[in-house]
A and B are shown apart, each in its own frame.
Chain A
């Protein structure tokens, strides 16, 4: 029969990895840069040379954008740019924090259920689907309207827990499509333990899907936080007076111990838009900039998440 040398052949490599993967494109990097800028602003807001977001300059209310006040000032003479930057703290903290909780609980459970199957899977999936059947936003609103005072931590916790079933479902499905492939059995007959298979074989395969879902999840929660801030007003009786506008205690962010660093009340984008409704006719900037900031953040998060999913989805392109 043949020797090893005759069995040795030069087989041509099929494709280089660069060709096999969807290109990320320049827009991807623009979005990444935008996200980085947002995170940077949120983290260093009180170090950056920004105006005090709470300082009220009554001699300059509802000013249009200028060199001094890039986004103009609101009806109390506060610098909108500075408030938008500070506002991103709340949005990003809620978005990232709650997704961290959601993934911290949902992802390991989903992977375990998909790998083990059997009774554990049946039980967990049943519980998660029952939870999914109840609209998460209603649950979040219900809990937050009774669990006062509403601190940032509580909001993160409630939204995070509400996102667990969704994360579980996505991660379980992603794991299942990988776990049924032969290489998992191959790893097993190579002597790998279940734990090793979960950590070394499955996690790297599920990670790309998890990351893109995480980013889109953050975007969803940022929007949800905005909606909550908005609804925070609708729960209370209508507030016709200017005085009530200052009283931000009614909104969710007001008594946050974390934000004591830079004096309560802290602006959140949702709050800002909410407040701006009443003065929209006099000061369009007030509603425009926070909305724009939120819109661009969501767009960037979604785009990056989507591109990453495409990029790592080697199966779709090659194989």
Chain B
């Protein structure tokens, strides 16, 4: 990418905070042309991600989280997909960038941890070689240098006896180990931005915590910014600085994590929170669930897309789409006609 010669410097040097914002997303809309008509999987999403900031993107299945992260990665197929709006990574526009241009950014500027470690590693390649590949192809390291660096990365992600694991095939590793390898591969290019798309859904609960702690730890040590996509609010609660709640492709609430947890205004956010079981609940309490299903994105209801499932919906909700409005807390926004009262007292 000739337009950005200043960015060809080795990515291992932590970027000097020339701009405080690393990733700037403006009015991003991703539309799939389906046989049932256009389907807006991401609809007018805007946000900024600062350096070393961790953003949690939360929502049910089908809320557009994964499409959002793939759009930011520039990974969507080019046919039958329309992306409008702007995604700027360090000032470089990603929307509409060619695959060759993206290849310059992938791995060294932005990397991705995939959801399922079972499928995101090549089953017939030794894991060490899969890490080597990035180092050799992208960073131009020699075979021996790449091997040494791979071993470092393997121990960095907490894999015991890296020299042995280096020679293992993915099938010889457990799920948690595999996800560690996936993370090591993502880190190999020393990216400024890491997109983690449900990095723990495929894992056991105990392993989930380990992987999240690892990500947390690495974020701080390597000065990365992270977008953590998940459907599990428990995952983002302690590990993110900001949360963005998505529903049917739109952002319905976003703000500093603590604020969103304590003072959520959008009924959907509260519904999500109530779905998490709590230790303080009485034994045999029924698990809460949000009634109904996420709407069909190809046939969205007029007005607020959550209205059909919302207990507080009024006639206006079914008619007009609410815009994001600021609360008194800076950076905390919500999109709702009938917001919950501030400081989240239970509504009658």
Contact = CB atoms under 8 A, between A and B. Distances in A.
A11 B177 contact: yes
A4 interface: yes
B75 to A, nearest CB: 6
B174 interface: yes
Quick one: which of A2, A11, A200 has the most chain B CB within 10 A? A11
B189 interface: yes
Nearest to A16: B172
A196 B137 CA distance: 10
B172 A2 contact: no
Contacts of A4: 156, 158, 214, 217-218
Interface stretch (B56-64, B86-94, B119-127): B119-127
Contacts, number: 120
Interface string A192-208: 11001000110011000
B235 interface: no
Quick one: which of A6, A183, A187, A192 has the most chain B CB within 10 A? A183
Given A1-B217, A7-B210, A189-B75, A13 B172 contact: yes
A314 B214 contact: no
Interface in A264-319: 314-315, 318-319
Interface stretch (B27-35, B106-114, B251-259, B289-297): B106-114
Contacts of A66: none
B18 interface: no
A17 interface: yes
B171 A17 contact: yes
Interface in B158-204: 158-160, 169, 171-174, 176-177, 182, 185, 188-189
A7 B133 CA distance: 26
A252 B172 CA distance: 52
B217 A190 contact: no
Contacts of B107: 189-191
Nearest to A203: B124
A20 B137 CA distance: 32
Contacts of B103: 191, 193
A205 B122 contact: yes
Given A190-B107, A192-B133, A7 B214 contact: yes
B72 to A, nearest CB: 11
A204 B125 CA distance: 8
Contacts of A14: 171-174
A183 B122 contact: yes
Contacts of B172: 13-17
A5 B189 CA distance: 23
Contacts of A6: 213
A247 B133 CA distance: 62
A315 B123 CA distance: 9
Contact of A190 (B79, B115, B137, B176): B137
A207 B162 CA distance: 29
A118 to B, nearest CB: 6
Interface residues of A, number: 40
A188 B134 CA distance: 10
Interface string B126-156: 0000000110011000000000000000001
B224 interface: no
A204 B124 contact: yes
A191 B99 CA distance: 10
A261 interface: no
A235 interface: no
B51 to A, nearest CB: 19
Interface in B275-289: none
A191 B111 CA distance: 10
B243 interface: no
B122 A201 contact: yes
B171 A20 contact: yes
A187 B122 contact: yes
Nearest to B70: A185
Interface string B223-260: 00000000000000001000000000000000000000
Nearest to B169: A17
B118 interface: yes
A13 B213 contact: no
B138 A318 contact: no
Contacts of B115: 182
B48 interface: no
A9 interface: yes
B73 interface: yes
B67 interface: no
Given A4-B156, A7-B210, A189 B121 contact: no
Nearest to A204: B124
B321 interface: no
A2 B176 CA distance: 17
Contacts of A200: 125, 133
A47 interface: no
Contacts of A16: 172
A13 B164 CA distance: 12
A191 B123 contact: no
Contact of A11 (B138, B174, B239): B174
Contacts of B75: 185, 188-189
Contacts of B125: 200-201, 204
Contacts of A191: 103, 106-108, 134, 137-138, 189
Interface of A: 1-17, 20, 118, 181-183, 185-193, 196, 200-201, 204-205, 314-315, 318-319
7 contacts: A2-B214, A8-B158, A16-B172, A182-B115, A190-B138, A196-B137, A314-B171
Please provide the 10 A-B residue pairs with the shortest distance between their CB atoms, ordered closest to farther: A8-B158, A182-B120, A2-B213, A191-B138, A7-B214, A182-B119, A190-B134, A204-B124, A189-B106, A181-B119
Given A15-B171, A188-B75, A189-B75, 18 more contacts: A2-B214, A2-B217, A3-B217, A7-B210, A8-B159, A8-B160, A9-B158, A11-B177, A13-B172, A13-B173, A14-B174, A17-B169, A17-B172, A181-B120, A189-B111, A190-B134, A201-B122, A319-B171
